């Protein structure tokens, strides 16, 4: 039996992630704290790389991490990713949440064509790009939504999603996107899985943005049998 053990808060409780009741146990710990909530969900190696030897996060992830990812997605209205990450990672459309993809060109790579996936896939792009992106999508997505900016800010992106009823947003990357959201102070919470591995050279998990220092408080920590840490951080409030 494998186990996932809660270290903070210091309950010492453990559960086998394969059990049916594990999803509810995990969901209690990863509950989004508001009706409008933006969280980053990423995985990193010990030396801060967001990708393994194959250039994707798959080779640094494991079954427990993927279970937690699924639980978090089930609580969200939208999972937000950049088109570059979608092309590289080959995202599976979430079971419940919309997959919101940021793009300028409309190049999403291999977009699932099944009807159920299409109903949960939306594209965000600069308003001037809407005709080009719409033509390129050729009806394969639920909606192409334009934003009044050539380079939309995190605030504009979140406001646009909220206008469409998508207020609980999980930002899954890539590093450039998550870095921009952190730099803008647009994140309520960070879910960060730390895999016990080193990958060189690293692909920085939060990108390489301008100089930024932000303090966070660790408010949740779990450990699995492989030594992978599951951390939950919130911005430190001013004292």
In this structure, the strands spanning 229-235 and 216-224 are antiparallel
Q: What is the pLDDT of residues 133-165, one digit of tens each?
A: 998 888 888 899 999 988 899 999 999 999 999
- pTM of the full predicted structure? 0.93
Cβ atoms of residues 60 and 199 within 8 Å: yes
Q: What is the pLDDT of residues 4-56, one digit of tens each?
A: 999 999 999 999 999 999 999 999 999 999 999 999 999 999 999 999 998 89
Report yes or no on 30 lying in a domain. no
Report yes or no on 169 lying in a domain. yes
C-alpha 224/C-alpha 18 separation (Å) is: 12
Give how far Cα 66 sits from Cα of 49, 101, 174, 215, Å.
Answer: 18, 20, 17, 27
Report yes or no on 48 lying in a domain. no
> What's 185's domain CATH number?
3.40.430.10
Report yes or no on 29 lying in a domain. no
239 has pLDDT over 60: no
Report yes or no on 191 lying in a domain. yes
187 has pLDDT over 90: yes
Report yes or no on 57 lying in a domain. no
Q: Identify the pLDDT of residue 238.
A: 58
Report yes or no on 101 lying in a domain. yes
Domain count across the chain: 1
Range of the domain at 79: 4-15+68-235
Report yes or no on 143 lying in a domain. yes
C-alpha 39/C-alpha 61 separation (Å) is: 19
């Amino acid at each position: 039996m494998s186990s996932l053990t809660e270290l903070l808060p210091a309950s010492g409780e453990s559960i086998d992630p394969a059990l049916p009741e594990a999803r509810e146990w995990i969901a209690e710990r990863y509950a989004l704290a508001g009706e409008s909530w933006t969280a980053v969900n990423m995985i990193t190696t010990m030396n801060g790389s967001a990708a393994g030897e194959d250039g994707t996060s798959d080779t640094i992830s494991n079954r427990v991490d993927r279970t937690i990812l699924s639980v978090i997605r089930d609580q969200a209205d939208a999972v937000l990713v950049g088109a570059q990450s979608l092309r590289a990672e080959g995202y599976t459309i979430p079971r419940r949440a919309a997959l919101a993809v940021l793009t300028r060109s409309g190049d999403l790579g291999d977009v699932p064509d099944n009807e159920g996936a299409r109903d949960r896939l939306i594209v965000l792009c600069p308003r001037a790009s809407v005709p080009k992106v719409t033509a390129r999508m050729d009806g394969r997505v639920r909606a192409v939504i334009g934003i009044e900016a050539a380079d939309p800010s995190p605030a504009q992106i979140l406001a646009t999603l909220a206008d469409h009823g998508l207020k609980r947003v999980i930002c899954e990357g890539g590093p450039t996107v998550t870095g921009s959201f952190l730099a803008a102070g647009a994140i309520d919470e960070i879910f960060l899985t730390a895999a016990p591995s080193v990958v060189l050279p690293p692909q920085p998990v939060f990108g390489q943005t301008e100089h930024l220092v932000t303090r966070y408080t660790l408010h949740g920590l779990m450990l699995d049998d492989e030594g992978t840490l599951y951390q939950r951080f919130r911005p430190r409030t001013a004292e």
